[in-house]
């Protein structure tokens, strides 16, 4: 079947109920709103010495190779094995990478054989080889703050060296065989004797240092400050600091070439820059426009159909008609926590994040974070009702929780027993107000009555339904991720009709996330145009009814 329904397809395809709808839906034309990227937030970097840059892609679960001559990106290891926060090259040419969510250390030999070297290391983050071939890794977050030595061949268990030191991130061994790296929580760059298990400061006064590597002389460190967006040169002997270049905030990692070219990854902008320290010049090696687009929302009364995009590392506004992007907030440099879902209330933007286990309420005008509500139960979709009450779908527990507008009032369980709830959309104008929920595990769309939590099945037989939105005609638009398609469901009959198929949606689920992983977002404008996020492509698409074309030109 083609990627979208052709204008000759009159009646649609039925998945539930077995009968045609009384009025066939329109045919849709698929268009690009924002073009994609090879990454879903790029992180660790390493040079292979053969004209290529290795790059790790944590949420995209892949390891990539980038041709330094032209920026072309190829995939070395795809999902699910390639979930890498950092990457390094071993003495024999093997590639090693750390699985932050999986807790696994992986190795790919020059012959292409991939296997697990170590496991059960939650928050596995950075890694580096010593000159003698010994391998060291850190665990950072997810309840861990540990530096360990790991057998590169996986024959011996990891040996803990330090713990509770303040989140040691991207590091490198110096000419003195000491480990040099930043402590995120202390704003320091330190030197660690891995044999004695001791550390001492080298430089201080950073906002959030995230990575440090030596220059060719081995006398200076280049340090990234993620919050300030700075590349800083530190003279090791004195701790003297010099800002070499100013970059966008959200910097994640770096590596330095033999010619002192510094390659810098930015997870928020999903791109890689090359900095020439001699003159501070900056050029892009790999560009992107979105990072990890997931949840979508737009105001039903907005004629321009401006979308709020939960881009995991940022909250962005995207013009649905022209694809122009404006920044609303970026992680690390703001109080916002890695948004994966977004919904709109009359005065608020509500975000939820399974990544950092929180729900946040933002002022819709100023963007100020008004309230942060921790939730470690795999929070997925979230809605704000007219009275300020929040409804939160807990993907891990299968509950729909009501969080009162008054913080002191706490929360109550509206219903439980849902099988991987992900998407939510309100049905509050009905005689008995309720909310529709997609259940990614059961393949159902369920309606939950707000008065008592009673549940009724609207549609079943779907495969991994995630994103959910209400069409102006009352129909439900669902991203059916398991079949890579977009469907319309009649809430009165449960009948389902395919709008588009063959879509690039649905990364494999990853450990540490609730059912649904990175949700595929759906939103519908008053024109009837349907918007869809693609996690696999880091892109944004629209599906325009052929009877009502969208004006404006999308951005490449």
Question: pLDDT of 48-74, one tens digit each?
Answer: 999 999 999 999 999 999 999 999 999
Predicted confidence (pLDDT) per residue in 107-129, tens digit = 999 999 999 999 999 999 999 99
Residue 6 has pLDDT above 60, yes or no: no
Phi, psi of 416 (to 5 degrees): -140, 175
Task: Give the span between the Cα atoms of 172 and 505, in whole angstroms.
Answer: 37
Do 257 and 317 fall within a single domain?
Answer: no
The arithmetic mean of pLDDT across residues 291-316, rounded, is 96
Residues 117 and 49 both lie in one domain: yes
For residues 32 and 46, state if they share a domain: no
C-alpha angle with apex 394: 400 to 140, nearest 5 degrees? 160
Q: Above 70 in pLDDT, residue 19?
A: no
CATH of the domain at 347: 2.120.10.30
* Residue 18: pLDDT over 50: no
Q: Over the stretch 433-462, which tens digit does the pLDDT of each residue have?
A: 999 999 999 999 999 999 999 999 999 999
The mean pLDDT of 14-23, rounded to a whole number, is 38
- H, E, C per residue of 18-81: CCCCCCCCCCEEEEEEECCCCCCCEEEEEECCCCEEEEEECCCCEEEEEECCCCCEEEEECCCC
Question: How much is the pLDDT for 31?
Answer: 96
Phi then psi for residue 151, to 5 deg, are -70, 120
Q: Is residue 556 part of a domain?
A: no
148 in any annotated domain? yes
Judged by DSSP in three states, 305 sits in coil
* pLDDT higher than threshold 60 for residue 32: yes
Output the average pLDDT for the chain. Answer: 92
The residue among 26 and 15 whose pLDDT is bigger is 26
Q: What is the largest CA-CA distance in the chain?
A: 79
Report the C-alpha gap between 424 and 406 in whole angstroms.
22
| pLDDT reported for residue 20 | 36
Say whether pLDDT at 2 is over 90: no
pLDDT at residue 230 greater than cutoff 50: yes
| Percent residues over pLDDT 90 in the chain | 87
Give percent of the chain above pLDDT 70: 94
Q: How many domains in the chain?
A: 2
> Is the same domain home to 483 and 530?
yes
Domain stops at, among 233, 268, 286? 286
Question: Does 159 score more than 60 pLDDT?
Answer: yes
- Spell out a b/e string for 312-349, using b for 16 or more CB atoms within 10 Å of the CB, else e: bbbbbebbbbbbebeebbbbbbbebbbbbbbbbeeebb
Q: What is the mean pLDDT of the segment spanning 519-543?
A: 97
Residue 412: name the closest of 421, 404, 425, 402 by CA: 402
DSSP string, 188-224: EEEEEETTTTEEEEEE---S-EEEEEE-TTSSEEEEE
Give the per-residue pLDDT at 5: 33
The answer to whether position 70 is within a domain reads yes
Is residue 540 situated within a structural domain?
A: yes
Residue 546: pLDDT band (50, 70, 90) is confident
Res 246: pLDDT:
97
Separation CA 99–CA 528 (nearest Å): 41
Residue 193 has pLDDT above 60, yes or no: yes
Which one of 235, 252, 286 terminates a domain?
286
**Residues 320, 203 within the same domain:** no
* Dist. CA 163–CA 59, nearest whole Å: 26
47, 165: one domain: yes
User: In 3-state terms, what secondary structure has residue 333?
Assistant: coil
Between the alpha carbon of residue 38 and those of residues 62, 98, 327, 365, 502, the distances in Å are 10, 19, 21, 33, 19
Q: Are residues 67 and 132 in the same domain?
A: yes
Instruction: Please state, in angstroms and rounded to a whole number, the distance separating the CA atoms of residues 343 and 282.
Output: 37
Confidence of residue 417 (pLDDT cuts 50, 70, 90): very high
**Do 159 and 306 sit in the same domain of this protein?**
no
Residue pair 135/151 in contact (Cβ under 8 Å)? The answer is yes
**In this structure, is residue 18 part of a structural domain?**
no
Domain stop point among 255, 286, 317? 286
CATH number, domain with residue 234: 2.130.10.10
- Same structural domain for residues 313 and 380? yes
* Confidence band for 548, pLDDT divided at 50, 70 and 90: low
Task: Identify the pLDDT of residue 24.
Answer: 57
Query: For 518-535, b where at least 16 C-beta lie within 10 A, e where not — what string?
Result: bbbbbbbbebbbbbbbbb
Whether 10 has a pLDDT exceeding 80, the answer reads no
State the residue range of the domain holding 496.
28-36+290-545
Q: Distance from first CA to last CA of the chain, Å, rounded?
A: 26
User: Residue 443 falls within a domain, yes or no?
Assistant: yes
Residue whose C-alpha is closest to residue 287's, from 541, 540, 36: 36
Q: Are residues 492 and 480 in the same domain?
A: yes
Q: For 371-376, what is the mean pLDDT?
A: 95
Q: Is residue 21 part of a domain?
A: no
Rounded distance between C-alpha atoms, residue 466 and residue 457, angstroms: 16
Q: Please state the pTM of the whole predicted model.
A: 0.91
> In terms of domains, do 300 and 277 share one?
no
- pLDDT by residue (tens digit) across 232-274? 999 999 999 999 999 999 999 999 999 999 999 999 999 999 9
274 & 336 share domain: no
Cis preceding linkage at 80, omega within 30: yes
Residue 361: strand, helix, or coil? strand
Residue 553 lies in a domain: no
How large is the average pLDDT for residues 486-508?
Answer: 96
Q: Is the pLDDT of residue 295 over 80?
A: yes
């Amino acid at each position: 079947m083609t990627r979208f329904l052709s204008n000759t397809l009159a009646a649609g395809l039925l998945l539930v109920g077995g009968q045609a709808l009384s009025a066939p839906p329109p045919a849709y034309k698929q268009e690009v709103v924002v073009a994609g990227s090879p990454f879903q937030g790029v992180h660790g970097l390493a040079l292979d010495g053969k004209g290529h840059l290795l790059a790790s892609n944590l949420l995209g679960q892949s390891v990539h190779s980038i041709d330094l001559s032209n920026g072309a990106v190829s995939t070395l290891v795809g999902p699910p094995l390639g979930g890498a926060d950092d990457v390094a090259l071993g003495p024999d040419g093997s590639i090693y990478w750390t699985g932050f969510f999986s807790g696994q250390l992986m190795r790919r030999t020059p012959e292409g054989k991939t296997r697990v070297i170590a496991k059960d290391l939650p928050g596995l983050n950075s890694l580096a080889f010593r000159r003698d071939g010994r391998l060291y890794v850190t665990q950072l977050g997810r309840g861990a703050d540990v530096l360990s030595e790991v057998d590169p061949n996986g024959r011996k268990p990891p040996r803990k060296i330090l713990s509770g030191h303040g989140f040691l991130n991207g590091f490198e061994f110096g000419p003195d065989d000491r480990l040099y790296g930043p402590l995120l929580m202390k704003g320091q760059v330190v030197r660690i004797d891995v044999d004695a298990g001791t550390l001492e400061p080298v430089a201080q006064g950073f906002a959030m240092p995230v990575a440090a590597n030596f220059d060719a002389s081995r006398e200076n460190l280049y340090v990234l400050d993620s919050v300030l967006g700075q590349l800083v040169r530190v003279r090791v002997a004195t701790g003297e600091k010099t800002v070499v270049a100013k970059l966008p905030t959200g910097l994640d990692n770096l590596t330095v070439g033999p010619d002192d070219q510094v390659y810098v990854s930015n997870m928020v902008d999903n791109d890689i820059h090359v900095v020439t320290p001699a003159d501070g010049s900056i050029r892009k090696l790999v560009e992107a426009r979105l990072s990890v687009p997931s949840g979508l929302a737009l105001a039903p009364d907005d004629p321009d159909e401006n979308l709020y995009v939960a881009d995991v590392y940022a909250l962005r506004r995207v013009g649905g008609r022209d694809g122009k992007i404006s920044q609303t907030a970026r992680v690390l440099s703001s109080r916002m926590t890695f948004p994966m879902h977004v919904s709109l209330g009359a005065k608020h933007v509500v975000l939820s994040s399974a990544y950092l286990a929180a729900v946040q309420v933002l002022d819709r005008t100023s963007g100020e974070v008004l309230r942060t509500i921790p939730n470690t139960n795999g929070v997925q979709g979230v809605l704000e009702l007219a009275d300020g009450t929040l409804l939160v779908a807990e993907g891990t527990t299968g509950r729909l929780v009501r969080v009162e507008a008054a913080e002191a009032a706490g929360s109550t369980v509206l219903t439980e027993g849902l099988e991987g709830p992900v998407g939510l959309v309100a049905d509050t104008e009905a005689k008995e107000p309720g909310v529709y929920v997609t259940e990614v595990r059961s393949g159902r769309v369920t309606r939950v009555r707000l008065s008592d939590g009673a549940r009724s099945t609207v549609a079943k037989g779907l495969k991994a339904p995630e994103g959910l939105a209400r069409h102006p005609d009352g129909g439900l638009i669902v991203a059916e991720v398991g079949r890579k398609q977009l469907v319309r469901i009649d809430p009165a009959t449960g009948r389902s009709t395919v709008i588009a198929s063959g879509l690039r949606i649905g990364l494999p689920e990853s450990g540490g996330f609730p059912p649904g992983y990175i949700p595929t977002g759906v939103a519908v404008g008053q024109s009837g145009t349907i918007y869809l996020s693609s996690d696999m492509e880091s892109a944004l698409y629209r599906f325009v009814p052929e009877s009502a074309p969208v004006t404006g030109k999308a951005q490449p």
